[in-house]
Amino acid sequence: MKTAIIKYNAGNIFSVSHALKRLGVEAILTDNPEELLSADKIIFPGVGEAGTTMKHLQKHGLNRLIRDLKQPVLGICLGMQLMCRHSEEGDVDCLGIFDTDVKRFLPQRQEDKVPHTGWDTISSLQDPLFKGLSPEEYVYFVHSFYVPVNPFTAAVTDYILPFSAALHKDNYYATQFHPEKSGRIGERILTNFLEL
């Protein structure tokens, strides 16, 4: 099985690569269209800012390529947000794979800190990505923007308000949290993705 990580100006590419190595998977890191199209599984990582990153993807033609992929694709954090229609971060139109928008967290109480950072639970697990996991598993988040609960929501976390911890549509899967930083649970989620 050939696994590819999309190479672009994202901050967590190497932690994703190391997490896959721990699972015995040597992923290729590439922005080459032929290599991406021939991969069996693709991971679209992301730590960064939506507006800048969309410009980078457009400049290199990756925006069209990602939308046309037919194999299973896993977006992580910013990767998930960029798969949506529009982001309030940079007020930018994104890839439009998921017909929903990305919103900025607005603290409601003094204890509401933004960014939402650290371990939190995921529930309402309704996807093959979460096979073998029990409700209320803990995973690791770092984000200031969120995707509201919508018809593509595959898992939910409640911080300030309920939001999409994961999305799924056709061959596109996405997590707002970082499976590569989520210990045993994250490894199980990555394994489930690789076994799709």
Catalytic residue among 26, 56, 77, 187, which?
77
Establish whether 89 is a catalytic residue: no
Catalytic residue among 18, 116, 180, 187, which?
180
Establish whether 84 is a catalytic residue: no
Catalytic residue among 35, 143, 178, 187, which?
178
Establish whether 77 is a catalytic residue: yes
Give me 143's structure tokens: 């984000």
The Cα–Cα gap between 88 and 86 comes to 7
Q: Which residues are known to be catalytic?
A: 77, 178, 180
